[in-house]
Amino acid sequence: MNLFIFVCVLGFKVREEEEERGFSFGFCSLLPPMVSLSTWVRYFAHKLEYSVSLSWKNYKGGHITDREVGDVVWKNFFQGKLTYTHWNKGEEMAPTIAGKAATLLVRKLPNPDPTHVFVGDVVVMKDPQKPDNYLVRRLMAVEGYEMVSTDEKDEPFVLDKDQCWVVADNEKLKAKQEANDSRTFGPVQMTDIVGRVIYCLRSAVDHGRVHNSHFGMRKDLPVLEVELDVDEMAKSHKA
């Protein structure tokens, strides 16, 4: 109820500011008709959480002062988006991301811990072997999981705190030679994860939602309904 009141107050505040500039419309006209009010409430909740988390992260990193935190929170809330597009090349994630290239819609994750990203999610992460590059892989295990190899020569081990294990979906690739995942470079830090892939566009007529964990897909639904723009993705797609 409190969040609903917050959203309504937000809408009326924007309306008042616009009316002062010579515009006149109701709060409902601020929201696209194809998205329900309940979806917008959930979306705003996610956006507020993201804005606060990102601002706090920047504050702890020394990028902003304590006096700037509030302004940055509201700037991110009003002007920022929860998603961005990522160009992916290669067949490591086939059949989930079929074809040699695709434009992906990625949800930003300022706090990539086990409460925000889940086993089964397709994620964008920093390449541990090439810091300026990014990989798309599926998260298969997080801290506390025991890893047991099919190769008897490999000793079992438990993932340490903030560690995770990622793999390529394409089972046709040779695990340690072609997949370029944790079977090659080992465990990676959760902080290397920058986002969760929620939509994939291979062409203007071939696109769809990416299958993630149940928790991830449920959390991403309002974000997807509000921010997905297939036409814009198609325009930026590299044939």
The structure tokens listed for 59 are: 């504050």
What DSSP string runs through the chain? -HHHHHHHHHHHHHHHHHHHTT----GGGGS-TTS-HHHHHHHHHHHHHHHHHHHHHHHHTTSS-TTTHHHHHHHHHHH--SEEEEEEESSTTTTTT-SSEEEEEEEE-SS-STTTS-TT-EEEEE-SS-TT-EEEEEEEEETTPEE--SSTTSPPEEPPTTEEEEE-S-TTS-TTTTS-SHHHH--EEGGGEEEEEEEEEEETTEEEE----HHHHHHHHHHHHHH--HHHHHHH---
* Selected catalytic residue, list 42, 92, 138, 196: 92
Q: Which two tokens stand for residue 114?
A: 């086990």
Q: In sequence order, what are the residues at sequence separation of 6 or more whose Cβ sits closer than 8 angstroms to the Cβ of residue 230?
A: 201, 204, 207
Note if 138 is an active site residue. no
Query: Catalytic: which of 42, 137, 138, 196?
Result: 137
Residue 16 known to be catalytic: no
Residues 6+ apart with CB under 8 A from 169: 92, 93, 94, 95, 96, 97, 122, 138
Catalytic residues: 92, 137
